[in-house]
A = this chain, B = another copy of it.
Amino acid sequence: MRRFATERAKRLLFGSFRSSPPLFSGAPLCSSLSAAAAAMDSAATPVTLDTINPKVLKCEYAVRGEIVTHAQRLQQDLQSKPGSHPFEEILYCNIGNPQSLGQQPVTFFREVLALCDHPPLLDKSETHALFSADAIARAWQILDVIPGGATGAYSHSQGIKGLRDAIADGIAARDGFPANPDDIFLTDGASPAVHMMMQLLIRSEKDGILCPIPQYPLYSASIALHGGSLVPYYLNESTGWGLEISELKKQLEDARSKGITVRSLVVINPGNPTGQVLAEENQKEIVEFCKNEKLVLLADEVYQENIYVDDKKFNSFKKIARSMGYGDEDLPLVSFQSVSKGYYGECGKRGGYMEVTGFSAEVREQIYKVASVNLCSNISGQILASLVMNPPKVGDESYESFDAEKTGILSSLARRAKALEDAFNGLEGVTCNKAEGAMYLFPRLHLPKKAIEAAKAVKAAPDAFYAHRLLDATGIVVVPGSGFGQVPGTWHVRCTILPQEDKIPAIISRLKAFHEAFMEEFRD
């Protein structure tokens, strides 16, 4: 009851009602400013760019930045004036959003969701003609673990316990090591989970987070919004975006020498925007590094199902740590997973979870409290997260059709990745690493000096200049490398591998024609 006592003591500190406003729990009234400062600062203050939170101003998110706004304008043009541009449609290769480009949802998952949305269907005989038997059975199982079967109720702040049990089972089956449902926090996609961890760890700009460069800009945006410092470590493009421990150590020491307290290491595996898949030995070194340096390992593992090469395999960092004999007490480790990626690509459902291990009970209580302020994540997303971690199994009625859908999507993605990689590598002055996994290629553009000067003349970064020209000429939307970070003086773009397979040849020939003309125009 300590908390209550403190609350009461706080209240007793203040005079009677209306003489002085009481200090409200957790949201202090500042009273130590000088009268002059008060007169300066506290008058009526309209909301302008100069008076909003500067952390908001600093935050950037290129994946939906200026180039996408420009693409939306072009799309409106095409609708209002067909033929007004040299292409017929905008191809959004800026964002990992498979279903927006025609990928179909996995039938089994959607059957279960529909049944859970409208449970009276389960009592009707017609339902058996419309839904597979195992989807019906799964919906019953799910409703059974939801208190009162109420899919419209707020759940436990971490998510429905029975769904967390299922997810823990799925993790254990994936890793061969046990998982604890109490470690799972279900979230509306992975992004809010990342924000929660940044909010927990960052106290001021003196706290640093080691992030890969290039990185997915959610990390830089979240660190900016929470007022921390991004400590960059560079992936080595020449070794296929290798993650080198010597680089981690160098950047950690460098940050520490500047007074930064480095709290955490972000690793994105498979990589975004880079597409590399980490080797097991490399992951072991990373775990060892985090353990020795007392860093929270934030493992972005949302592309765990997206692997396109035979010689690489996804290993979760938890599996690696446990296989090294490290337990909860050795290393704080958070794994992020999402229903938006994988073969399912259910971005619009906003489902995901984080598995939080290696924190003390009292710190975990703080994470729980912050989760509670937001009540819970959406129940459809929770259900879907339990499904992707426990898809149909051999012998289930849906298994064959499910497996055909899954394999069809993944093998097509692998073909598209290869075709686009080859196409980029076939362009003059462009080099492109393999997409071993994830949903992106991140080709490097070796641009002629004249192009760089032309960009400078219009006050654009060279990669942004290239991306704009590409969009205006072809309708293809890619994101400039500067939105992800890159070695200064190098230029890249991120391009998803997500357009449907029948569109890939046309995309490649448009890209090729554009690039040839661009190089011709700016040849030194």
Contacts and interface: CB of A to CB of B under 8 A. Distances in A.
A251 interface: yes
A49 B130 contact: no
A394 interface: no
A225 B296 contact: no
A56 interface: yes
Nearest to A111: B118
Contacts of A60: 3, 25-26, 369
A379 to B, nearest CB: 4
Contacts of A366: 49, 52, 56-57
Nearest to A221: B373
Interface in A10-66: 11-12, 14, 16-18, 20-22, 24-31, 33-35, 37-38, 41-49, 51-61, 63-64, 66
Interface stretch (A340-348, A441-449, A469-477): A340-348
A395 interface: no
A81 interface: no
B152 A459 contact: no
A42 B295 CA distance: 12
Contact of A42 (B107, B130, B226, B262): B262
Contacts of A179: none
Interface residues of A, number: 165
B100 A27 contact: no
A45 B261 contact: yes
A479 interface: no
A152 B373 contact: no
Interface stretch (A396-404, A428-436, A483-491): A483-491
19 contacts: A1-B66, A4-B464, A7-B482, A8-B461, A28-B205, A31-B258, A33-B259, A38-B257, A42-B257, A42-B259, A44-B295, A47-B296, A52-B200, A52-B363, A100-B148, A100-B154, A105-B151, A111-B118, A349-B380
A437 interface: no
A53 B201 contact: yes
B254 A153 contact: no
Contact of A150 (B34, B100, B374): B100
Interface string A105-139: 10100110111011011001011011000000000
Which of A27, A57, A201: most chain B Cβ within 10 A?
A: A27
B153 A347 contact: yes
Contact of A21 (B121, B232, B464): B232
A378 B349 CA distance: 5
A372 interface: yes
A47 B130 contact: no
Contacts of A59: 26, 369-370, 373
A192 interface: yes
B150 A375 contact: no
A103 to B, nearest CB: 8
B4 A100 contact: no
Interface in A256-288: 256-263
A438 interface: no
A181 interface: no
A256 B188 contact: no
A189 interface: yes
Given A61-B373, A66-B3, A153 B29 contact: no
A48 B363 contact: yes
Interface string A173-213: 00000000000000011011000000111110110100101
Contacts of A51: 203
Given A130-B124, A482-B8, A229 B464 contact: no
B374 A191 contact: yes
A82 B381 CA distance: 34
Interface string A346-371: 11111000000001101100100110
A223 B23 CA distance: 13
A321 interface: no
A102 interface: yes
A69 B290 CA distance: 33
A185 B35 CA distance: 39
A304 interface: no
Contacts of A5: 459-461
Contacts of A37: 259
